Structure 1
């Protein structure tokens, strides 16, 4: 019984394919106009009979059934001979032959190249990592560069498919071999696209963080937002699978009839892809498809919710409760601290009674990367031989200032300016306005401040700073998710800058479903990983006295354990 049903189904499918070809040959450019007229007439008469005789009337039912068949036939006609593609460039048959013949051979080489690139892509080390917290930023950058290459190749393949999907414009009766070869180019490109897309989709299913990495914008490698989502939507779209199946039926038909001589190897390329697609789709399964749809629904819901969350976060960051109208640390204390700082130091700050502290875990809510003023920065790095060799190797420049002027022009111009109070710019940080460069006096106008120093070479520090400068102007990440590279939070900027050049003793954590890194974790790591961090400075506010005092490394090591609640720290209810 099952075998009989399969034969009947194949016979119906073959009948549809033959009907599509005959319709195309008979009506050519009017193929859609005529069927649209028939559908319009069918809908009109169906409505008339339904109103006149009711839906139970057999004529009404017959007309409705015929109209539905016409609508389905039109849909299949559109899928088999797409409308929204560029027409074939030549109407002359000889010129078409010159175009199709080399493309047919070129396509097979292109398919092998894409298969190998996807193999390489799916065997990169990042796929061996289960959680984003364990991913190294170097791996993220490597996978993105390879992802761009994959997208370029898939786009070229899709362009070839779209170009030759108008094979229906070739006169089948006059040039059947040309018609079929053009069809083979379009169909082979399509099945290769779906096959390789499904391979990537299957791999990312068990690595949800990879979806975020592949889907987010990254201007440094020319990645746009939504690339992965579009890949999935195109790969699992019902229209594409109908096109594939129509192609299979037609391919088997022309192979059996032996209209043209095509090697078994060329047939096997397509049927090999088809077998793999069936296998991959069975592995992906409906459960995984529903899981993807759930994730897409979650993303869309969050997209609608995001503007409100952003506005609330910005408001909380600007509101300070009127418990105290001054900061505990004096400007003079910050200026004394500045004398001990070196480029690459990490500065942690806290201002009490801001509503934003409530939503951030731990005592230390904000982290800043210290640059030094322009003169201090250049003096610190320029005379180092290793730095000069690095600049020459990477930028073909020996002078640091010329690199900054050429490669980081916007950040460099801002860095050279002074703030409204005449203070030189010395730090880079990510705040609600985005990644900005400010003076130490402005960011140090707080109640608690500390500075720690990673034990790294000058070259490593310079690389980290240059990464931060490259992100100048990037928007703030109100989603607080490290997997998003198109925006940044304060700790993300510093972590990604340093984790590219060294193995940090600190890792992002999962918090409320997001991968993030609270600033408090830096001081927690400082207390534990003493071989990596060096103490620089600690100014500890004293709310009872209304001032701040300089404290030592031991006292800083304990500060991460303090409560984030200001009424506890300041003894408001004592």
Structure 2
């Protein structure tokens, strides 16, 4: 029995330390509330890492308290003993841990709810920190969990009786037990008041419970459909409008770090993608090209050229670039995830354009290194730009060229859609158009090949003509083709009917 007493006392001390640490973490978050409320679009990588650091500390304390709580709730050590005081300690551990978790969850949620786009980052699985998928969601759902509310109410009355009983009996508590009991007794009413003062959290929890559980059901189907229609082309043409001769010209014009965009007509995935342009990538070039272009850039104080640096620091990237001698490569995000592919995979299309960031060579090289860090990451079929475990095509552009303390970058305007912030390939051309010929322009024009249905080839066009393409109706070509090849308007009506049904099914699937 003495061993059990010692173990319970040790865990009371451990619980008290975890509670104090949790309170300190939340106090730090409150002091840095401006950081958590800052505009996601202008948030630097350092700010994201600072938020992540505080979140890791919070979850560490939460997991420790939750383990203690679960242990004494599910395996009450002295359930069948007559030692009522040790039973009291056991229940005190459950009671104090639950109060600390609920109180600080409300305080955390009251900050995060003002910047809801942070939720996806906090819900991202991070096994290296023992953070589970949807961790923030499960922590905040406990605020309105009925079983815990009933448990707190029941334990409150239990302690009101037992404290009076021990006082009458003349029992003297040790300092740690008294401190934990004082914390629980003082903060019980605080939790009630906090929940009452943040009714929006309760309401949002109910909405989130419905929305997130529906999404868990819908997402596998959404992903399956997205994978099934990827690459499906319902045109009768075998060759795309950009020819091999065009690609040879394109290769001569590109430089490492260029942002590439493409579109194919009659691609089934175009239904779910917003705007005219549907895919993007970053141009790498070949090893020799990298060495030549970045010859004057110092690499962390070493004398290595870029190709040697890649061999040491990014061996997978180096191996990919060695597959074909003098081959020119891109890094892009497609169905398998973040991959390095030959330039032809994005240039052999109907419409192709290239933009060059107005940045120093050093900043471009750093952007490429950021992109290389994501190599092998999965494709993000949820299209959530706040998560890092998986990416979609234009998210790679956004994160690679994000400003940080050691490099300048590009500023993109993220568009809210279906509760998420998104950057589409079409938005990149829109940015180019908005800033066109201005002093603040962050892109310069490289080239644009415009597919011509009439001439059955791609025609080189100007920067001004490229800047207007983001406004094009992506259905105009399909409609024109149907009207030109049909004697009656019935197929057009039928097409609109089918299209309407597809748009309902695929709504929100891609962006």
Distance 2:480 2:361 in 1: 40
Structure 1 residue 413, shift from structure 2 partner: 2.9
Structure 1 residue 437, shift from structure 2 partner: 1.2
Cα-to-partner distance string for 1:105-131 (whole Å, 9 max, x where unaligned): 4543332221111222343434324x7
Aligned partner of residue 207 in structure 1, secondary structure: helix
Partner of 1:86: none
Query: Structure 1 length normalisation: TM-score?
Result: 0.72
Structure 1 residue 169, shift from structure 2 partner: 1.6
Describe how 1:221-236 pairs up with structure 2 within 5 A: 223-236=131-144
Distance 2:480 2:23 in 1: 63
Cα-to-partner distance string for 1:445-495 (whole Å, 9 max, x where unaligned): 012211111122334323322232222232222233324433321111111
Greater RCO, 1 or 2 (C-alpha within 8 Å, sep 6+)? 2
Contact 1:432–1:476 (8 Å) recurs in 2: yes
1:313 to 200, 206, 226: 226
Q: Does 1:127 align with 2:33?
A: no
**How many aligned positions are there?**
469
Distance 1:404 1:296 in 2: 46
Contact 1:464–1:500 (8 Å) recurs in 2: no
Distance 1:543 1:563 in 2: 15
Distance 2:277 2:476 in 1: 12
Contact 1:323–1:353 (8 Å) recurs in 2: no
Query: Please, what is the CA RMSD of the aligned residues?
Result: 3.3
Contact 1:215–1:228 (8 Å) recurs in 2: yes
Q: Does 1:278 align with 2:184?
A: no
Structure 1 residue 187, shift from structure 2 partner: 2.9
Going from structure 1 to structure 2, the CA distance change for 1:541 and 1:167 (only over 3 Å counts) comes to closer
Distance 1:178 1:510 in 2: 54
Partner of 2:97: 189
Going from structure 1 to structure 2, the CA distance change for 1:349 and 1:105 (only over 3 Å counts) comes to same
Partner of 1:331: 244
Describe how 1:408-419 pairs up with structure 2 within 5 A: 408-418=314-324
Q: Does 1:534 align with 2:435?
A: no
Aligned partner of residue 388 in structure 1, secondary structure: coil
Going from structure 1 to structure 2, the CA distance change for 1:408 and 1:244 (only over 3 Å counts) comes to farther
Partner of 2:492: none
Structure 1 residue 323, shift from structure 2 partner: 4.7
Contact 1:344–1:453 (8 Å) recurs in 2: yes
Aligned partner of residue 230 in structure 2, secondary structure: helix
Q: Does 1:557 align with 2:451?
A: no
Long gaps (5+) in structure 2: 485-511
2:332 to 418, 429, 437: 429
Partner of 2:260: 347
2:428 to 509, 517, 522: 522
Going from structure 1 to structure 2, the CA distance change for 1:312 and 1:261 (only over 3 Å counts) comes to closer
Structure 1 residue 361, shift from structure 2 partner: 2.4
Q: Does 1:153 align with 2:61?
A: yes
Q: Does 1:510 align with 2:423?
A: no
Q: Which has the larger radius of gyration?
A: 1
Structure 1 residue 515, shift from structure 2 partner: 2.6
Contact 1:423–1:439 (8 Å) recurs in 2: no
Aligned partner of residue 444 in structure 2, secondary structure: strand
Distance 1:567 1:270 in 2: 68
